[in-house]
Amino acid sequence: MRYPNPSWMNSDLEFYRSNVRRFIETEITPNQHRWAKQQHVDRDLWNKAGDLGLLLADVPEQYGGSDGDFTHMSVLFEELAYAGDRSFGVHVHAIVAHYLLNQGTEAQKEKYLPKLANGTMIGAIAMSEPGAGSDLQGVRTTAVKDGNDYLINGSKIFISNGYLADLIIVVAKTDPTAGAKGTSLFLLETKDAKGENVKGFKVGRILEKLGQKGQDTCELFFDNVRVPADSLLGGAEGRGFAHLMSELPYERLMLGVGALAAVEMAIEMTLDYTKERKAFGQAIFNFQNTRFKMAELKSQAVVARAFIDNCIEKIVQGKLDTVTASIAKLHMSELEGKVMDECLQFFGGYGYMLEYPIAQMFADARVQRIYGGTSEIMKEIIARSL
């Protein structure tokens, strides 16, 4: 593949990219079909990635990370997209780590970040509920004080990494009458000393999805799940909504980076196909419609690359704001859906067959406009800034 040359790349990152690519080629690509059938990746993939320092590359070394920055994570997100993989839930895992790094107490950082970094713990975030998706103020899961502990009751749905997770950040209401100010985040260790689910915690079925089939996505149930008071993220009640809002730029840029890389891969793949495939005695690429459409898609991808690279530079400098990150998420996810649809068209009937990567990429792309904040929510955030 002819990869783009991001403005933030340097020789160290090029070396890092080659290591990431080798890991994906060896450990991920050969297993993608099997993981899609079992609906989750193998547990030891996390340990292997942790051993190479890939899981938390942008977390300080003192907490077990690799002491890099968002450019290192961008390389990982790009390479996974270039390989057509949306099974490895490292994206959610990284978000969990950043909640801890930026919002957690020192004791919480020291306890959990090294385990998340080496893969002995897998992270998940339990936000969405059957009646509350993008509307986090509608969360009905509760956490009620009981002595020195809290009792969590409720259910969650569409939880990525939910099947394998060892540590879950649970969004719950500590004061149901206080609206957003009554929301708190809890750190739930899912296993007890015997390696079994903690009392009252149940993992539901792995949900059958349109795409991203190798990524485990589950329902979670909490029935008087007892957690100690020191599991409250940051050590204070009512800070949950603020915690969630503060980490959104990281999450949304991360999704934008992966979306653009998928766009670049789809264009590359389609160019190769149209130059090889013949119709009416000539390569499909030789028809003006094909050339003009591919020129249009390429132009959009190049312009998008300039914007994403600028956002990556800003987040490294600590200057990426929520509105700009929301623009990145909105534009890139919408562009991904458009490009996948138009590229698939050039494959004709073959594009509808799942054995062709473009069909799987088309299916995988659809949820990008939903999770991490829907396109409609992104528009609302942007509109409020106008």
Give the span between the Cα atoms of 208 and 199, in whole angstroms.
Answer: 26
What local confidence, expressed as pLDDT, does residue 5 receive? 85
Residues 222 and 141 in one domain: yes
Answer yes or no: do 251 and 380 share one domain.
yes
Tokens of 34: 């099997």
Domain limits for position 150: 123-238
Is 4 a member of any domain? no
The residues carrying an active-site annotation are: 251
- Check whether residue 28 and residue 156 sit in a common domain: no
CA atoms within 13 A on the CB side of 129: 19
pLDDT of residue 217: 97
Do 365 and 266 share a structural domain?
A: yes
Asked if 344 contacts 358 with a C-beta cutoff of 8 angstroms, the reply is yes
Report the pLDDT value the prediction gives residue 134, as an integer from 0 to 100: 67
Q: What is the pLDDT of residue 1?
A: 55
Residue 5 located in a structural domain:
no
Write the CATH number for 326: 1.20.140.10
How many domains is the chain partitioned into structurally? 3
Tell me, yes or no, whether 2 lies in a domain: no
Q: What is the pTM of this model?
A: 0.95
Residues 114 and 129 in one domain: no
> So what's the pLDDT on residue 132?
75
> Do 28 and 135 have their domain in common?
no
CATH number of the domain where residue 89 is located: 1.10.540.10
In a domain, 207, yes or no: yes
**Does 220 reside within a domain?**
yes
- Give the separation between CA 168 and CA 185, rounded to whole angstroms: 10
Low-confidence ranges of the chain (pLDDT < 70): 1-3, 134-135
Task: Tell me: do 139 and 170 sit in the same domain.
Answer: yes
The whole-number pLDDT of residue 121 equals 98
Q: Is residue 375 helix, strand or coil?
A: helix
Largest separation between any pair of C-alpha atoms in the chain: 79
> What was the pLDDT predicted at 4?
75
